[in-house]
């Protein structure tokens, strides 16, 4: 059984844990460095990126997560998780940091507030059929550096923003597959964990 972690400091932890367990993974809720050391991959959930950043530092997880990313651990970030994997944030709050790893620049809450949340069908490189994507106070990728690759972009009439990227063993989506019944991103993540 593949043992993976969900960073359990804040956000939609249960939703990711449920999807991963249903896909056959042994799920560990990661709140301490020793729990991170016991898993082969990590999901960083949606939530408040600035709060997760602060709590990761309080719980001594920031550097261990950075080290795990640098060491090649597969990591999947959704929404706030995408922000935390980005090397650059255009509009972070004062002092906000990320774990980094994805050669991208992100803008937080790029589509507006909670009331501006939306759903759409989205073409994803490598998927045979469109994914149902749920955007909740979502970020967008405003720049993709040469090391990263965009795998999903909104249609021009929806703004044309890059909303999913990959780089090595890292995967990030601006939307929430875990709330819409979409499992292919988690499957891709688990494949990478098994391969690593």
Question: Active-site positions?
Answer: 79, 176, 178
Query: Residues in the chain, how many?
Result: 196
Helix, strand, coil content of the chain in percent (nearest 5): 30, 30, 40
The DSSP code sequence of 12-60 is SHHHHHHHHHHTT-EEEEE-SHHHHHT-S-EEE-SS-HHHHHHHHHHTT
**How far apart are alpha carbons 192 and 127 in whole angstroms?**
16
């Amino acid at each position: 059984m593949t043992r993976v972690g969900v960073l359990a400091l804040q956000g939609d932890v249960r939703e990711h844990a449920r999807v991963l367990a249903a896909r056959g993974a042994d799920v560990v809720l990661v709140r301490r460095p020793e729990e991170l050391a016991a898993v082969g991959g990590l999901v960083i959930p949606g939530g408040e990126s600035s709060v997760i950043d602060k709590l990761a530092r309080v719980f001594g997880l920031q550097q261990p997560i950075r080290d795990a990313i640098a060491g090649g651990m597969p990591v999947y970030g959704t929404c706030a998780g995408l922000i935390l994997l980005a090397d650059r944030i255009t509009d972070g709050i004062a002092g906000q940091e990320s774990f980094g790893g994805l050669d991208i620049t992100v803008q937080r809450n790029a589509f507006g507030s909670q009331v501006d949340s939306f759903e759409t069908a989205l073409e994803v490189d490598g998927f045979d059929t469109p994914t149902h994507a749920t955007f909740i106070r979502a970020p967008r990728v405003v720049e993709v550096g040469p090391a990263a690759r965009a795998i999903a972009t909104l249609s021009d009439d929806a703004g044309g923003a890059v909303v999913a990227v990959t780089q090595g063993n890292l995967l990030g989506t601006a939307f929430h597959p875990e709330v819409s019944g979409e499992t292919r991103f988690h499957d891709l993540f688990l494949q990478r964990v098994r391969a690593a």
